Structure 1
């Protein structure tokens, strides 16, 4: 599966069509959304803007949610719903939910491509219809270090074009734990998008010589969880929680936050277009580290809901000084498939080799691993 395969496929196969999906939905009078999380809430908003059918409420198997309300819609248990009801699955756990519905006699359901609706917003389809963008993607394909990375690159693009899950293939190693690096030389990590400390636990178990983690997380509730973990852990790892997001400057920005794991939290540069926003503090990594000139950063990980490119701009001096391993999520915006490697090549030409990993059975968790040539194990 090479780049020519991608080009041929998009020429001979129609993309997954949002209008066709809406037409199918509009043939139904009343529907329920299965999944009372951020996916369901955002899908409801999308449906209210694009379809005419009546949304009866949400269905969720979580008993803690049942009987509550999400976006002014009641959350039902599956047992409360008639078997012939029309259901739209609005959850990333669509495979498990589809199986459950079939086993329990619910046959009138459609599994929505909520990853493409919410995060991609069908942008990839427009992207792959533009010959200029195709040529940029070919440049990236040629730069990638190995055939496996090239294959993951093509497969994720094909999925985003077709919403055909058969294209998805996952890396054999766990996310952020790429094997062909010199693990014993990793002492200090910047974890941007530390969430509730989940990746801190991954890193502490993977890197035997790890001493310090700077955990950037702009939300108070997650910072408190990181602090709690740092107080209760039994090893000598030093964790420095930073209640800020990484950006290309130090300022305060609007931020959309959900209550769900894997939600679509994001920085909103134009706050006039969104409601219900919070304010968060952001900082560029270069400014944050300016008083720690003796500190060597060995690895930078970024999973910051689409702010990765801006954060890299604000880390330019740090990267130049330290040549750290970079583990950058590129799935939030199709532009990042090209822009992030282009930024690194333009500013650090000859320093890095590039590999791609994919760590989910849907659009999310595509990671660019930029590894300094002297730190890669052949």
Structure 2
């Protein structure tokens, strides 16, 4: 189902015509899946789209939180993109709750410690700090609330609120690809989003209603963002909302 009232609200937030066209294509495909409405992916780079200047407003180094770092498979690309753009890096914090991914993640971090301050937080992003469960499934592991004795492939994990762990570190770029936990993680980052206006790159495709609920919630928390919508995968997968602080918000950010 599509909530047309909320998708119209979402259109009002977009900073470019392309985002409105992308949304229209997504909605047509959802309502009538066919070869004629097939949604092709955008060739721009996911999390660093060439047609959106995410970091023009920054006059300090990147302080990035990668929520859903997986095995660090994109770390080399991330570092190379920042270096190519001559964007200085203060740190990248890599959050990954799945123990089956952590060994590979830690090994990748060791390869690049001479290029940037990197640290791994073996926890998921959530609305508050507590113990939950994860259904371990590689790149698509899902966090869920405690449900008695865990069955095979389910493990207890710590989750944390970004406000409770990173607020003092003043992050200015937060990426979230956390298999449906994005709304919970945003609730746990409300103060950080309100006070520091970090650039946000948040996946919208894990739950149907995320397409409108996530950007509208971000707008409720901080109304000084420009919003851009891009689709980086086939069939509407890898749909990302990019939230970039307007100049008025950027000028008020504490460095």
> TM-score range with shorter-chain normalisation?
0.7 to 0.9
2:103 and 2:116 map into 1 onto residues whose CA distance is 18
SS at structure 2 position matched to 1:319: helix
Q: Is the 8 A contact 1:298 1:322 kept in 2?
A: yes
Q: 2:191: which partner in 1?
A: 317
Q: 2:253: which partner in 1?
A: none
| 1:268 corresponds to 2:144 | yes
1:274 and 1:358 map into 2 onto residues whose CA distance is 35
Q: Is the 8 A contact 1:191 1:200 kept in 2?
A: no
- Which one of the candidate residues 45, 50, 54 is aligned to 1:181? 54
1:243 and 1:223 map into 2 onto residues whose CA distance is 7
1:280 and 1:140 map into 2 onto residues whose CA distance is 34
Q: Is the 8 A contact 2:66 2:176 kept in 1?
A: yes
C-alpha change, 1:275 and 1:212, in structure 2 (3 Å) is same
| 1:145 corresponds to 2:15 | yes
- Which one of the candidate residues 226, 232, 254 is aligned to 1:359? 232
Q: 1:231: which partner in 2?
A: 110
Give TM-score, length-normalised by structure 1.
0.59
SS at structure 1 position matched to 2:12: helix
C-alpha change, 1:335 and 1:225, in structure 2 (3 Å) is same
Give TM-score, length-normalised by structure 2.
0.85
Q: 2:69: which partner in 1?
A: 194
C-alpha change, 1:251 and 1:157, in structure 2 (3 Å) is same
1:159 and 1:241 map into 2 onto residues whose CA distance is 38
Deviation larger for 242-251 or 274-283: 274-283
| Structure showing greater Rg | 1
Hey, which bits of structure 1, 4+ residues long, moved more than 6 A?
A: none
Counting only pairs closer than 5 Å after superposition, residues 267-286 of structure 1 correspond to structure 2 as 267-269=143-145, 271=147, 275-276=151-152, 277-286=154-163
- CA deviation digits over 1:214-236, x for unaligned, max 9? 00000123222121112123742
2:6 and 2:146 map into 1 onto residues whose CA distance is 28
Long gaps (5+) in structure 1:
1-126
Q: Is the 8 A contact 1:353 1:372 kept in 2?
A: yes
C-alpha change, 1:137 and 1:270, in structure 2 (3 Å) is farther
Counting only pairs closer than 5 Å after superposition, residues 49-88 of structure 1 correspond to structure 2 as none
Counting only pairs closer than 5 Å after superposition, residues 1-378 of structure 1 correspond to structure 2 as 127-128=1-2, 133-164=3-34, 166-179=37-50, 180-182=53-55, 185=59, 186-208=61-83, 209-233=88-112, 235-259=114-138, 262-263=139-140, 265-269=141-145, 271=147, 275-276=151-152, 277-290=154-167, 293=168, 295-349=169-223, 351-374=224-247
Q: Is the 8 A contact 1:211 1:236 kept in 2?
A: no
- CA deviation digits over 1:13-64, x for unaligned, max 9? xxxxxxxxxxxxxxxxxxxxxxxxxxxxxxxxxxxxxxxxxxxxxxxxxxxx
C-alpha change, 1:157 and 1:285, in structure 2 (3 Å) is same
Relative contact order, higher structure (CA 8 A, sep 6+): 2
Q: Is the 8 A contact 1:197 1:226 kept in 2?
A: yes
Structure number with the higher helix fraction is 1
* Count of paired positions: 238
